[in-house]
């Protein structure tokens, strides 16, 4: 049961969820805001792939890069025009704003494109499989693992070695004091949204490629997964988010193969039971972060 195929697929799923959770926690860490519009950044990247792939002759690799950039840009813009004006108000105002952005972005694609799913073209190797020993795994899953290793390495270097990274870690801990160091508040917040959007965009490539289609509500499931994974892993650190993503992927795959066929459709319910157990017995998550709950004001 626990064979190479299972391991690769689980690590791959965990990687995808780790990137997803990380994007949510980057913003949460600094603004203490669960950004409910996060799933829409993923959705926007999906539509960028659809538009570029269907109506233009842009090569596939450029399409993917542009899709990621679109998600990053939309994330940055939502901060600029929507979150920034209400930042010094209550956290409730921020939460409501994030819901508003979510609904707004969904309706933009509903009106301008369609309420129905649109097919997105991917290069053929996305759906091919490869045989490693006695394991047959999708090429896509191996790409997810490779990209996750690359992104986590780059992000670790940025957070540890650059001044901006230090400032972001400091801001997640003590926002006001970080400003006292001369670090502009807008700089770290914009950076967090750009990274968050980039991660959503990268995840979008693989998320959308599973069904090769995109619809206005495609962002809801990933948002939920990111939220659950961060609750399990720990909302107060980037490490916690990554752990949460991998734990979510592992639990999900274990449930998938251990649950009897009659219960498999209740897999999500089992995931929620696990979340409830976490909230009851370890509300801080697997990885306790050192971050305080200071609000940006």
Partner 1 sequence: MLTIENLTASYGAITALHGISLEVGEGELVALLGSNGAGKSTTLKSICGLLRPGQGAIRFLGEDITGKAPEVILKKGISMVPEGREIFGGLTVEENLRLGAFTSYQRDRYRADLDEMFALFPILKERFTQAGGLLSGGEQQMLAIARALMSHPKLLMLDEPSLGLSPTMTDSIFELISALRDRGTTILLVEQNAERALEIVDRAYLLDTGSIEFSGTPDELKRRVDIASVYFGGEDDGTCEVRL
**What residue ranges bind partner 1 (CB under 8 A)?**
163, 166-167, 169-170, 173-174, 176-185, 289-291
Minimum distance, C-beta of residue 178 to partner 1, in the bound complex (Å): 7
Minimum distance, C-beta of residue 28 to partner 1, in the bound complex (Å): 16
Minimum distance, C-beta of residue 247 to partner 1, in the bound complex (Å): 22
Cβ nearer to partner 1, comparing 246 with 291:
291
Minimum distance, C-beta of residue 181 to partner 1, in the bound complex (Å): 5
| Max intra-chain CA distance, the chain | 59
- Which residues make beta-bridge pairs with 137? 130
Cβ nearer to partner 1, comparing 7 with 166:
166
CA dist., res. 142 & res. 126, Å (int) = 10
State phi, psi for 136 to the nearest 5 degrees: -110, 115
Cβ nearer to partner 1, comparing 166 with 254:
166
Cβ nearer to partner 1, comparing 88 with 129:
88
Beta carbons of 228 and 99 less than 8 angstroms apart: no
Torsion of CA 136, 20, 235, 219, to 10 degrees: -120
Minimum distance, C-beta of residue 296 to partner 1, in the bound complex (Å): 12
Cβ nearer to partner 1, comparing 101 with 238:
238
Cβ nearer to partner 1, comparing 170 with 275:
170
CA dist., res. 12 & res. 33, Å (int) = 28
CA dist., res. 34 & res. 208, Å (int) = 23
- Which residues make beta-bridge pairs with 214? 118
Minimum distance, C-beta of residue 225 to partner 1, in the bound complex (Å): 26
DSSP 104-141: HHHHHHHHHT-SS-EE----GGGG-EEEETTEEEEHHH
Beta carbons of 215 and 49 less than 8 angstroms apart: no
Minimum distance, C-beta of residue 107 to partner 1, in the bound complex (Å): 35
Three-state DSSP string of 39-74:
HHHHHHHHHHHHHHHHHCCCCHHHHHHHHHHHHHHH
State phi, psi for 3 to the nearest 5 degrees: -115, -175
Cβ nearer to partner 1, comparing 114 with 292:
292
Minimum distance, C-beta of residue 163 to partner 1, in the bound complex (Å): 7
* Gyration radius from the chain CA atoms: 19
Cβ nearer to partner 1, comparing 245 with 289:
289
């Amino acid at each position: 049961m626990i064979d190479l195929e299972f391991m690769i697929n689980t690590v791959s799923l965990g990687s995808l969820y780790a990137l997803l959770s990380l994007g949510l926690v980057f913003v949460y860490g600094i603004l203490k805001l669960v950004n409910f519009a996060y799933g829409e950044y993923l959705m926007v990247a999906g539509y960028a792939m659809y538009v570029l792939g269907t109506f233009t002759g842009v090569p596939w690799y450029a399409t993917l890069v542009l899709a990621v950039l679109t998600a990053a840009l939309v994330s940055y813009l939502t901060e600029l025009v929507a979150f920034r004006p209400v930042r010094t108000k209550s956290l409730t105002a921020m939460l409501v704003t994030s819901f508003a952005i979510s609904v707004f972005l969904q309706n933009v694609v509903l009106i301008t494109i369609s309420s129905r799913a649109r097919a997105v073209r991917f290069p053929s190797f996305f759906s091919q499989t490869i045989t490693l020993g006695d394991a047959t795994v999708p090429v896509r899953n191996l790409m997810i693992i490779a990209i996750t290793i690359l992104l986590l390495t780059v992000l670790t270097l940025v957070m540890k070695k650059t001044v901006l990274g230090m400032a972001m870690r400091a801001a997640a801990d003590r926002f006001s004091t970080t400003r006292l160091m001369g670090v502009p508040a807008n700089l770290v917040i914009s950076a967090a949204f750009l990274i968050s959007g980039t991660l959503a965009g990268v995840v979008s490539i693989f998320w959308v490629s599973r069904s090769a289609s995109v619809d206005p509500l495609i962002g809801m499931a990933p948002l939920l997964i990111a939220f659950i994974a961060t609750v399990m892993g720990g909302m107060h650190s980037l490490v916690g988010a990554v752990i949460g993503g991998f734990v979510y992927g592992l639990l999900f795959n274990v449930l998938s193969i251990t649950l009897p066929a009659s219960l498999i459709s209740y897999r999500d319910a089992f995931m929620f039971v696990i979340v409830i157990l976490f909230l009851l017995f370890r509300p801080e998550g697997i990885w306790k972060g050192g971050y305080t709950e200071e609000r940006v004001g």
